[in-house]
Amino acid sequence: MDTLQIPMTDYAYLEGVSWDEYESLLEQAGARPLRFTYDGGRLEIMTLSYEHESPKKVIGRLIELLAIVLHVSFRSGGSTTMKRKVKEKGLEPDDCYWFEHEKQMRGKKNLDLKRDPPPDLAVEIDVTQSVIKRMRIYAALRVPEVWRFKKGRLKAHVLQPDGTYQQIDSSRIFPFVTMAELQRFVDRAANTDESELARAFMAWVEKEVKPRLDGGRRNGRRSK
């Protein structure tokens, strides 16, 4: 049987793809900017557009600046492939981070979900209609929280015991910031220099968010 090759198109949807073929295609891709979504023999391959990558960079930067200004330890994983053969599921998040499990990821060169914790937060930029439901794959891989950007709106979803995601107003990682507040900065990004946006965001976090966090700590609350 001929080895399955990556289709030379911007988008491909394949069925009947074995796990070994999926892993072979991942190896063929190397560092090429492709996004693979695998679910029980079905495989979707997409190239990454500017429409997709631009909000990804903005949202990722906001997450990292929040953590830096608020002194929250984190480890970034970018679009690291996450997969579990036993689940027959795999994907690349658009961005991902470890917060609670940051120490466990120090010194790692590879991610193996058989022994390593999944990211505490994944970012999903949904600008192209996907045949495969990626949120179901995040749930199977036990990713506790996903920030999903769809139709210009950024929303946080937390994994429930029944394996579904529930939308929440504030991230469990950054409970003193609402998603509506973050949305204001995401909206400004389209018509603002990103350096200027970053400075404005850090100034807002210092002025508005840090006092909430400090007050919460004095009252016995803390960020998880």
Domain ranges of the chain: 49-218
Closest CA to 118 of 135, 130, 100, 133: 100
Per the CB < 8 A criterion, the answer to whether 58 and 149 are in contact is: no
pLDDT tens across 16-67, in order? 999 999 999 999 998 788 999 999 999 999 998 998 999 999 999 999 999 9
Structure tokens at 111: 């991610």
pTM for this predicted structure: 0.92
**How high does pLDDT run on average in the chain?**
93
- pLDDT bin (cut points 50, 70, 90) of residue 1 is very low
Percent of the chain whose predicted confidence (pLDDT) is above 90: 84
219 has a pLDDT exceeding 80: no
Structure tokens at 70: 């608020």
CB-based contacts of 88, cutoff 8 Å, min separation 6: 19, 38, 39, 40, 41
pLDDT tens across 60-111, in order? 999 999 999 999 999 999 999 999 999 999 999 999 999 999 999 999 999 9
Please give the CATH number for the structural domain made up of 49-218: 3.90.1570
